[in-house]
Every structure is written in structure tokens, then in C-alpha cells.
């Protein structure tokens, strides 16, 4: 009879194959009546508070997955609470721990500043810990996640005369001001000091320095100050106005943030100015040197010292008056141009030489001519024309370009003109006939004051 009941029971309640997944391991077991409990017992899997069991079936096969809750320790208000949670966010874990967040509170996850909406798992664990100690009566697992709440404290902040009430979890005065987005600059007054610890009811006073743009003696500077009037700014800068000094605006003007102040100081100084003395040129002859040979010994400039009484107003020179006579500190050494006069040996030919400013050397012949002057504006081309100022040779009119009659002085001939210098015959003209030359000048010179002169010119080649 018992055997019949066993066979009948086996057919009525057949065993089911169950796979249990837990903590990364899988177990294959069998269960008949209570699949969940029998399978967990057969797999020797114990459930802890907060763990979940997910069941899935298909035919004669069943799967059980155990989702383990994670241990966390919540530190708040001097207490530490341990819970096991399936929550994925910090706020969810705090709700399970029965901890409420207040405005201004700060949340730290394993020592790192976090937000209530941030993920509870997957972060980086830090060795540094936030203030507070775990309750020594708790048996905290080594892998427990630590969530610390730093409560905000009520603090009153006076910015000049404006009062701001704030709840801040910052530990120092500097942190509270940072929470308000306040930047403390050099010149600002803070009481108590920035590194002072903050407790509930702390009163912080911040007196912001005003920004003043000051120009003193022509130089600009930015000043952060608690000065009340312009006179106070002068005292801060150590400026004592003299009878010829001025300040704008007036000394009794109240300082406003961003205002400008111009302090015009009058200074009288003696300045030494050194000037070069150009060396003169002396012309010498040397009977031991062959005729036509020119030797130049370069001179050196001298130095002249002049003294001036100079008056500056707001950094700008307003007057300059020379005092006394210039003093020659170093005499200039003249340049020596030595021309040889030694006659050539009998039977040898020699050319005459010229020793003059601008040319020293031999020449072929001396010619007397009428000399006039011209520049680019004397030509027949419009100023906008590309050929404006172009000469017969293609060169443009400039110093050293001269017009001649080619039948009298051929094109390309070089010659020396006293008081003008070397010139090249590179142009012609309808009025330039015979012993007439036209000396070129840059247009920027204007009228050079040459007029029309009779001069002896020296044909070099």
C-alpha cells in the first residue's frame, strides 16, 4: 500500500530541476513542494536582510537568482546606522536608513563629495574619510559603503550693509563665502578671519573694497581701497599736493566703485642731454704721395653736454629751458683728406685731381656751364601716370640725375658739381642746349633754392 502511495505521489507531485544563482556561483538542485525554500536549502544559500529572490520557470526547470543587498553605513548627527539595501542612489539608501537631507547639507560617499541623486555603487572608494566616526557598537562589514552627512548650519553674512542668511555645511568662513559665490580680493576686509571655524549662528562681515582707477603723474594704476573720499586716496598713495598740483574730482568727493581720479603733479627736474659733435673735414696735400692719390683718415665725433630745467605736468612735459652754456665734454677729431701732389716721372701722363667735399680724385676736364634745377613735377606727365618723373634714360628724377645736351655732355657721363655733388647725365630736355645742365632733386625737397647759377663742373668720365 505504501509503495502504491509513493508511486502515486511521485506521479502527482514530480520533482523539478532548479538552478540557483547566488554571489557569482550556480547550483543544480531538485525540489518537489516549496521550490524556493527547498532549492535554497539544498544549495545551502542563506538569505540576509534586504536580499531578493527572483524566480523563473519553464517546463520542469526552474531558475532562482539571489540578489544580495549591499551593506552601507550612514553617519549623521553624530550617529552611525547600518542597513542593507538594494537602492541604487544615495537618496534611496538614505530613505531606507530614515535619514532626511536638509537644505545646505553635504553628502560624502566614501570620503568623496557627492550628490543625493548620485549612484550609490560603482564609484571610487577613497581612503580619506569625512568627519564623524562609525558607531563602535556596530559590526560593520569591511566592504560596507560609507555615506556621511555634514549638516548645514545657519550663518548670517553681511556684505557691506546687505544681510544674507544662509545654511552652509562649510567648516570655515572662506567656505561659507565660497558657497555664496563671493570672491575675496586684496583690500577686502573679512571678520572673522577666513580660516575661522564656523558654528551655528556665526556672523560674518565682508566689507568689499572699492575699485578706483587712478592716474598719477601720467601713469595709470588700479586701486582697491576702503577710502571714503578722494582725500583718503591721496593719503593712501602718500601724495601731498603742492600749490601747482591738482586733482580731479575734488578732494572732498565721495569715492564710488569704478570711479576715476586724475592726480596732476607738477615736477621740475634738471636733465642732462648729450649731443654728438660732427667732425669737420680738413683738406691736406702730401708731396710724398703721387698726384691723384687721395687718402682719407676718418675722424671721430665729439660730445657736447647741455643742461635743461624741465617742467612736467601730470607726466607730460610743458616747458624746457636751457640753463647755462653747452659744455664740450669731448672734442671732435676732424676727418683728414690727404691728396698727393708728387709729380709723375718724366714721360708719364697724369690727370689733374680734385679734392673737394663729395669727391676726391682725378678728372678729365673742367667745363663752365649754366646750371638750373628740376624735379618730377616739372615733367609733362600727370601725377597719376605711371611715367610721372621718368627721365629719358628710364630712371626717375632724383638726386644725382641730371639733364644735359648729349652733343655737349654725352648720356652716361659722370661729373662733379660744386655744392651739389656727383651727377650722371641721364636725361635731356628741349631747353637744355649746349653748355646748360639741369640738376635733379627729389620732389619732397621742394624748391632747393638753387635758382640758376654759372658753375665750373668737373667731367670725371
Please tell me whether residues 218 and 164 are part of one structural domain: no
Please tell me whether residues 53 and 114 are part of one structural domain: no
Long-range contacts of 389-395 (CB under 8 A, 24+ apart): 389/443, 391/426, 391/427, 391/440, 392/426, 392/427, 392/428, 393/426, 393/427, 395/426, 395/427
Q: What is the CATH number of the domain that holds 302?
A: 2.20.230.10
Helix, strand, coil abundance in the chain, percent, nearest 5: 10, 45, 45
Asked if the model's pLDDT at residue 133 lies above 50, the reply is: no
Write the CB contacts of 63 (distance below 8 Å, at least 6 apart in sequence).
18, 19, 20, 21, 55, 56, 57
Can you give the pLDDT at residue 236? Answer: 86
Domain boundary among 207, 227, 251: 207
The dihedral built from the CA positions of residue 238, 253, 249 and 261, taken in this order, carries a sign that is positive
Q: What is the CATH number of the domain that holds 223?
A: 3.10.20.30
Please tell me whether residues 371 and 452 are part of one structural domain: yes
Backbone angles phi, psi at 213, to 5 degrees: -90, 115
User: Is residue 176 one of the residues assigned to a domain?
Assistant: yes
Task: Kindly list the strands in the beta sheet with 106-109, ordered across the sheet, starting from the edge strand earlier in the chain.
Answer: 79-85, 70-76, 145-150, 106-109, 112-114
For residues 298-302, average pLDDT? 87
Q: Which of 365, 380, 364 is closest to 427 using CA atoms? A: 380
How many structural domains is the chain composed of? 6
Domain boundary among 188, 207, 226: 207
User: Is residue 326 one of the residues assigned to a domain?
Assistant: yes
Asked if the model's pLDDT at residue 64 lies above 90, the reply is: no
User: Is residue 346 one of the residues assigned to a domain?
Assistant: no
Asked if the model's pLDDT at residue 431 lies above 50, the reply is: yes
User: Is residue 325 one of the residues assigned to a domain?
Assistant: yes
Write the CB contacts of 249 (distance below 8 Å, at least 6 apart in sequence).
230, 259, 261
Q: Which of 158, 230, 165 is closest to 188 using CA atoms? A: 158
Can you give the pLDDT at residue 419? Answer: 92
User: Is residue 3 one of the residues assigned to a domain?
Assistant: no
Please tell me whether residues 41 and 84 are part of one structural domain: no
Contact 229, 255 (CB under 8 A): yes
User: Is residue 352 one of the residues assigned to a domain?
Assistant: no
Could you tell me the three cell numbers for 427? 636725361
Can you give the pLDDT at residue 272? Answer: 93
Domain boundary among 134, 150, 166: 150
Please tell me whether residues 183 and 233 are part of one structural domain: no
Can you give the pLDDT at residue 13? Answer: 55
Express each pLDDT in 11-58 by its tens digit.
Answer: 445 677 888 788 778 888 887 777 788 888 887 888 888 888 888 887
3-state SS class at 27: strand
Asked if the model's pLDDT at residue 3 lies above 50, the reply is: no
| 424: β partners | 401, 414
Banded pLDDT at 244 (limits 50, 70, 90): confident
Can you give the pLDDT at residue 421? Answer: 92
For residues 303-324, average pLDDT? 91
Please tell me whether residues 324 and 274 are part of one structural domain: yes
Provide the residue range defining the domain that includes 46.
14-67
User: Is residue 93 one of the residues assigned to a domain?
Assistant: yes
For residue 398, the tally of other CB atoms under 10 A from its CB is 15
- How close are the terminal C-alpha atoms of the chain, in Å? 154
User: Is residue 157 one of the residues assigned to a domain?
Assistant: yes
Express each pLDDT in 279-297 by its tens digit.
Answer: 887 878 888 877 666 677 8
Q: What is the CATH number of the domain that holds 20?
A: 3.10.20
Asked if the model's pLDDT at residue 359 lies above 90, the reply is: no
Backbone angles phi, psi at 411, to 5 degrees: -60, 140
Please tell me whether residues 26 and 111 are part of one structural domain: no
Strands (E) across 174-297 are located at 189-191, 203-207, 210-216, 219-225, 246-248, 260-264, 266-277, 281-290, 294-297
**Average of per-residue pLDDT values in the chain:** 84
Please tell me whether residues 118 and 88 are part of one structural domain: yes
Express each pLDDT in 161-198 by its tens digit.
Answer: 889 999 999 999 999 999 888 888 877 889 999 999 99
Express each pLDDT in 381-399 by its tens digit.
Answer: 888 888 899 998 888 999 9
What's the chain's length in residues?
461
Q: Which of 403, 422, 283 is closest to 363 using CA atoms? A: 422
Amino acid at each position: 500500500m505504501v509503495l502504491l502511495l509513493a508511486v502515486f505521489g511521485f506521479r502527482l507531485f514530480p520533482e523539478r530541476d532548479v538552478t540557483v544563482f547566488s554571489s557569482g556561483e550556480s547550483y543544480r538542485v531538485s525540489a518537489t513542494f516549496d521550490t524556493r525554500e527547498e532549492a535554497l536549502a539544498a544549495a545551502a544559500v542563506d538569505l540576509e536582510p534586504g536580499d531578493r529572490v527572483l524566480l523563473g520557470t519553464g517546463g520542469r526547470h526552474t531558475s532562482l537568482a539571489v540578489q544580495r543587498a549591499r551593506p552601507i553605513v550612514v553617519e549623521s548627527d553624530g550617529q552611525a546606522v547600518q542597513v542593507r539595501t538594494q537602492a541604487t542612489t544615495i537618496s534611496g539608501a538614505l530613505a531606507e536608513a530614515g535619514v532626511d537631507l536638509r537644505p545646505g547639507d553635504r553628502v560624502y560617499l566614501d570620503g568623496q563629495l557627492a550628490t543625493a541623486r548620485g549612484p550609490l555603487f560603482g564609484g571610487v572608494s577613497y581612503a580619506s574619510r569625512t568627519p564623524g566616526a562609525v558607531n563602535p557598537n556596530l559590526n560593520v562589514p569591511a566592504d560596507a559603503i560609507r555615506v556621511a552627512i555634514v549638516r548645514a548650519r545657519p550663518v548670517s553674512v553681511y556684505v557691506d550693509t546687505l544681510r544674507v542668511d544662509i545654511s552652509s555645511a562649510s567648516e570655515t568662513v572662506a567656505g561659507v563665502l565660497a558657497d555664496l559665490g563671493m570672491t575675496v580680493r586684496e583690500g577686502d576686509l573679512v571678520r572673522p578671519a577666513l580660516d575661522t571655524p564656523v558654528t551655528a549662528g556665526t556672523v560674518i562681515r565682508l566689507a568689499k573694497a572699492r575699485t578706483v582707477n587712478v592716474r598719477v603723474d601720467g601713469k595709470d594704476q588700479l586701486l582697491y581701497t576702503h577710502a571714503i573720499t578722494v582725500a583718503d586716496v591721496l593719503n593712501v598713495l602718500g601724495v601731498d599736493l603742492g600749490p601747482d598740483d591738482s586733482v580731479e574730482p575734488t578732494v572732498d568727493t565721495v569715492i564710488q566703485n569704478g570711479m576715476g581720479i586724475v592726480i596732476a603733479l607738477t615736477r621740475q627736474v634738471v636733465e642732462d642731454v648729450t649731443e654728438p659733435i660732427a667732425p669737420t673735414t680738413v683738406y691736406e696735400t702730401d708731396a710724398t704721395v703721387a698726384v691723384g692719390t687721395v687718402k682719407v683718415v676718418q675722424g671721430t665725433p665729439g660730445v657736447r653736454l647741455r643742461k635743461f630745467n624741465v617742467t612736467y605736468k601730470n607726466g607730460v612735459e610743458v616747458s624746457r629751458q636751457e640753463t647755462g652754456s653747452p659744455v664740450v665734454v669731448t672734442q671732435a677729431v676732424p676727418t683728414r683728406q690727404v691728396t698727393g701732389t708728387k709729380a709723375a716721372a718724366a714721360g708719364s701722363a697724369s690727370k689733374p685731381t680734385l679734392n673737394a667735399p663729395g669727391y676726391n680724385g682725378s678728372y678729365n676736364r673742367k667745363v663752365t656751364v649754366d646750371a638750373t634745377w628740376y624735379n618730377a613735377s616739372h615733367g609733362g606727365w600727370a601725377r597719376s601716370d605711371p611715367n610721372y618723373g621718368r627721365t629719358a634714360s628710364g630712371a626717375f628724377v632724383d638726386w644725382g640725375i641730371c639733364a644735359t645736351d648729349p652733343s655737349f655732355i654725352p648720356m652716361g657721363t659722370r661729373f662733379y658739381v660744386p655744392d651739389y655733388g656727383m651727377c650722371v647725365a641721364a636725361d635731356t630736355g628741349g631747353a637744355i642746349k649746349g653748355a646748360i645742365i639741369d640738376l635733379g632733386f627729389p620732389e619732397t625737397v621742394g624748391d632747393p633754392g638753387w635758382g640758376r647759377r654759372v658753375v665750373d663742373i668737373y667731367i670725371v668720365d
